[in-house]
Chains A and B, each alone.
Chain A
Amino acid sequence: SQTIHQWPATLVQPVGSPLSLECTVEGTSNPNLYWYRQAAGRGLQLLFYSVGIGQISSEVPQNLSASRPQDRQFILSSKKLLLSDSGFYLCAWSVGSASRGYTFGSGTRLTVV
């Protein structure tokens, strides 16, 4: 069966420090992969999505970047965190068109202090 792993579950980082969040999917091939951020009261904001290795689309300009070094691995990074990067980060995957819906990871709570 397909599973999605996201880690770490919680993270507290100082302003200006780097960030690396990892998401991996098991049990499927060539998934579409997504990074969302959820800030309090602001719903889900799509940050990046990828339809294949090395293919990254950015939805909003920001302090973050994403990479897909392997088919089932999606990484969210930052060179220098800002206070405004705090939030709940969710990874999701889908196969084929979005019509099948997304499967979400359990999320990472990032607090920048």
Chain B
Amino acid sequence: AQSVTQPDIHITVSEGASLELRCNYSYGATPYLFWYVQSPGQGLQLLLKYFSGDTLVQGIKGFEAEFKRSQSSFNLRKPSVHWSDAAEYFCAVGALNRDDKIIFGKGTRLHILP
């Protein structure tokens, strides 16, 4: 069965600093991987997704993520965070079958120091 682990519940970084949010997955085949962002009181917005090909994926808002099969990881990065990046971030893994679901991690809340 698929599973996703986000080991950090909270992360605090200073504005302008670099960011890396960790995500590890468990899945028997090549997974479909996603990062979503949720601002307070809002729905989830897709930041980026990986299906195949280049293991470094570019997303919206200056985010990128790197798929590392050997480490079963899909970490999210941003070179310089802005105060508006403060939100909760969810990593997720999906599968091929039509009625399969996407499994979400428990989320990492990002705090930005001015």
A-side residues, CB < 8 A to B, are: 6, 32, 34, 41-44, 46, 49, 51, 57, 88, 90, 92, 94, 96-99, 101-107, 109
Contacts and interface: CB of A to CB of B under 8 A. Distances in A.
Contacts of B25: none
A98 B95 contact: yes
A106 B43 contact: yes
Contacts of B9: 41
Interface of chain B: mostly helix, strand, loop or mixed: loop
Contacts of B45: 104
Contact of B51 (A32, A96, A99): A99
Interface residues of B, number: 26
Contact of A96 (B42, B43, B46, B98): B98
Contact of B43 (A41, A42, A49, A105): A105
Given A90-B44, A106-B43, A101 B106 contact: no
Contact of A44 (B34, B41, B99, B104): B104
Contact of B94 (A6, A101, A105): A101
B100 A98 contact: yes
Contact of B44 (A42, A94, A97, A104): A104
B60 interface: no
Contacts of B32: 98-99, 101
Contact of B95 (A42, A90, A97, A107): A97
B1 interface: no
A44 B4 CA distance: 12
A103 B46 contact: yes
Nearest to A102: B102
8 contacts: A6-B43, A42-B106, A94-B102, A97-B97, A99-B95, A101-B46, A101-B102, A104-B43
